[in-house]
């Protein structure tokens, strides 16, 4: 069976959308662990799965901040996207966050953003080089 070694999350709404209370109000209360101060119902459902997250996975979490005062990509708050860290804290092999800023950081534009493209190309090239070296 194939084994997943790398995961890329783009604009993940782990602790709710802006239309939900937690998605609007939640803040990250512990930057080191990613723990939010308020949990959405969906986030509460994900918590028991934390113990099953594979330890070999390297995670790249990409999210947007339009820098318009909303601290969001227009659909998902920065804090909601950052809460992914709490779900995999102590489990994943590594975790990296990249905040994309500006008008092209809007939720539906992130998959068309050149900065995101370069991050994905760099990650793909890293995987390709590792496979060639084997």
Question: What CA–CA distance (Å, rounded) separates 45 from 96?
Answer: 23
Selected residue with higher pLDDT from 94 and 128: 94
Question: What CA–CA distance (Å, rounded) separates 103 from 107?
Answer: 10
Instruction: Please tell me the pTM assigned to this model.
Output: 0.90
The percentage of the chain sitting over the pLDDT mark of 70, rounded to a whole number, equals: 94
Contact 18, 71 (CB under 8 A): no
Among 7-21, 42-56, 89-103, 119-133, the least confident range: 119-133
12-48: pLDDT as tens digits: 999 999 999 999 999 999 999 999 999 999 999 999 9
Across the range 58-71, mean pLDDT stands at: 97
């Amino acid at each position: 069976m194939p084994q997943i070694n790398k995961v890329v999350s783009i604009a993940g709404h782990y602790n709710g959308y802006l239309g939900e209370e937690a998605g609007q109000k939640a803040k990250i209360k512990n930057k080191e662990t990613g723990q939010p101060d308020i949990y959405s119902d969906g986030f509460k459902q994900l918590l028991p799965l934390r113990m099953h997250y594979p330890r070999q996975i390297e995670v790249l979490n990409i999210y947007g901040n339009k820098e318009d005062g909303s601290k969001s990509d227009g659909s998902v708050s920065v804090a909601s996207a950052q809460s992914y860290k709490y779900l995999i804290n102590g489990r994943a092999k590594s975790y990296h966050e990249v905040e994309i800023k500006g008008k092209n950081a809007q939720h539906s534009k992130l998959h068309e953003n050149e900065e995101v493209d370069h991050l994905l190309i760099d990650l793909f090239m890293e995987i390709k080089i590792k496979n060639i070296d084997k």
